[in-house]
Amino acid sequence: MTDHRHIYQAMFLLDNEEVRKGFNAARDWVKTTLEKYGLEVKVLRLWGERQMAYPVGGRKRATYLIGWLEGEGNAVNEVKRELYLLGPVFRCLFLEEDAIPEEELVHGIQEMKDSDLIIPEEIVEPEYEEVYEEPAEEKSEGAGKEKAEGESEDKPEGDAKDKKEGDAEEASDKNLEEVKTDGN
């Protein structure tokens, strides 16, 4: 393998239960783990606490930590392995970038009071079992048959479709009579 260093943008999803114990402790654990494998941490800051697009491991919300790092590709693989096995990170993404934006370098390693970060409690929604109910038409079996036999209950006399069909029949009857009279 080559010793070529790359720049990475990284996103870490932190378990809110761990962040409630202390954001700085969770952030420091991530930083220490990255440095343990030779990644140089340039920026590591809170991106926000948000609802995820879909539940992951029963979690519907997470605290997002964004970072900008410099290091080798094989170090990223080793870091991912440890992040998933230990600590507060349950998902992470590393993207190779050309450079670190200047506006990100301003943040550096973000320091904040644990009390400044408010993590809402997970709302446990009760699971409802859907009960299937047959539509009203199918419940009464005889109702559909009676209407088919009577049929004049709902349809008005002289329905446009019926009128067109009747006119077509009359025209064909007249044509048959003309053919019979012309033939002899």
184 residues of the chain, pLDDT tens digit each:
456 889 999 999 999 988 888 889 999 999 999 999 999 999 998 988 888 888 888 888 999 999 999 998 889 999 999 998 888 999 999 999 998 888 787 767 767 666 666 666 665 555 666 777 888 876 555 555 555 554 555 555 555 555 555 565 665 555 555 555 555 5
For the segment(s) 6-116, the CATH number from 3.40.50.1580, 3.40.50.300, 3.30.460.10, 3.30.70.60 is: 3.30.70.60
- Tokens, residue 23: 């954001």
pLDDT score for 102? 83
Give the Cα-Cα-Cα angle 159, 165, 171 (nearest 5 degrees).
Answer: 130
In this structure, what is the dihedral angle of CA atoms 41, 51, 83, 17, given to the nearest 10 degrees?
110
Cα separation, 91 vs 10, in Å, equals 11
pLDDT score for 117? 66
pLDDT score for 134? 81
- Tokens, residue 87: 């600590």
- Tokens, residue 160: 């446009």
pLDDT score for 64? 93
pLDDT score for 100? 84
Supply the pTM of this predicted model: 0.60
